[in-house]
């Protein structure tokens, strides 16, 4: 009998920040592979409800939970509620994140700390309280959303780069401590993707659009659905011996130093 290594039927997946954008694209992929999706957000209950309705329109089982991933008490309550209402969390995708584009010399300390709290501390908080059930069951998958800024710097995103660089090492340390419990902890590092947020700068003639097209060996922006395969792989049995790895889905940007402007 053949085995589908990528089948997620019967699995329960919590994706933080999954009401829109890349989080929604990954959640759709996991849901279409058979997982029940736990939708998280913190902006409004209506946005969560709309996202749940969207998933259900695709034939995906989904349930929404509003909580602040930086608030440990809210996380504890949410995890307990999920376990009671839906079941144990098999897959955790720490996707919630923010960015503040400010030169470091002008950045308020409070803004720097907020980025660190959301992008680095919250994956620790949520993982800490989800992993305990995984340890008891001797299985689980955790995916931390890293970034090319886990490897590279860029003007005005110092706090974000500091958080994502830290998240890369947190991912590796989680694997160091938890792999012995048959838990796989890995990261995904997206490149530049075509989302609603990047729409204003993806127009022909925009300097940043030209920069990304020329800087990416694939010569295009990524489609959010391109992340689904990576998320399914790292959530499935196909990745059972992959641990502490950061999978960059970037069209090849990190593979090259780039090219001169006049080079084809």
| Long-range CB contacts (within 8 A, 24+) of 131-139 | 131/92, 131/174, 131/178, 131/183, 133/79, 133/83, 133/88, 133/89, 134/89, 134/90, 134/178, 134/181, 134/183, 135/178, 135/181, 135/183, 137/88, 138/181, 138/182, 139/90, 139/182, 139/183
* Residue 192 bears catalytic tag: no
Tally DSSP H helices, then E strands, for the chain.
8, 7
Catalytic, out of 55, 65, 160, 192: 160
Bridge partner residues of 78 (DSSP): none
Q: State how far the Cα of 36 lies from the Cα of 24, in Å rounded to an integer.
A: 13
Query: Residue 60 CB: number of other CB atoms within 10 A?
Result: 20
Half-sphere exposure of 100 (CA within 13 A, CB side): 20
E strand map for 191-255: 246-249
Active-site annotation, residues: 160
């Amino acid at each position: 009998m053949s085995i589908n290594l990528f089948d997620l039927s019967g699995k329960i997946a919590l994706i933080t920040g999954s009401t829109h954008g890349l989080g929604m694209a990954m959640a759709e992929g996991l849901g279409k592979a058979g997982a029940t999706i736990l939708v998280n957000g913190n902006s409004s209950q209506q946005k969560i409800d709309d996202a749940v309705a969207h998933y259900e329109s695709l034939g995906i089982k989904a349930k929404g939970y509003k909580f602040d991933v930086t608030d440990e008490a809210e996380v504890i309550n949410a995890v307990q509620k999920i376990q009671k209402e839906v079941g144990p969390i098999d897959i955790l995708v720490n996707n919630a994140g923010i960015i503040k584009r400010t030169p470091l010399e002008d950045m308020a300390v409070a803004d720097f700390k907020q980025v660190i709290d959301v992008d680095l501390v919250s994956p620790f908080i949520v993982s800490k309280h989800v992993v305990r059930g995984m340890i008891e069951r001797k299985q689980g998958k955790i995916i931390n959303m890293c970034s090319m800024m886990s490897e590279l710097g860029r003007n005005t995103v110092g706090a974000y780069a500091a958080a994502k660089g830290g998240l890369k090492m947190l991912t590796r340390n989680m694997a160091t401590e938890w792999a012995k419990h048959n838990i796989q902890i890995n990261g995904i590092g997206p490149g530049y993707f075509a989302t609603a947020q990047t729409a204003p700068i993806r127009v022909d003639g925009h300097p940043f659009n030209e920069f990304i097209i020329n800087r990416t060996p694939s010569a295009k922006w990524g489609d959010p659905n391109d992340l689904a395969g990576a998320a399914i792989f790292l959530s499935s049995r196909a990745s059972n011996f992959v641990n502490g790895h950061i999978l960059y889905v970037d069209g090849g940007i990190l593979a090259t130093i780039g090219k001169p402007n006049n080079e084809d």
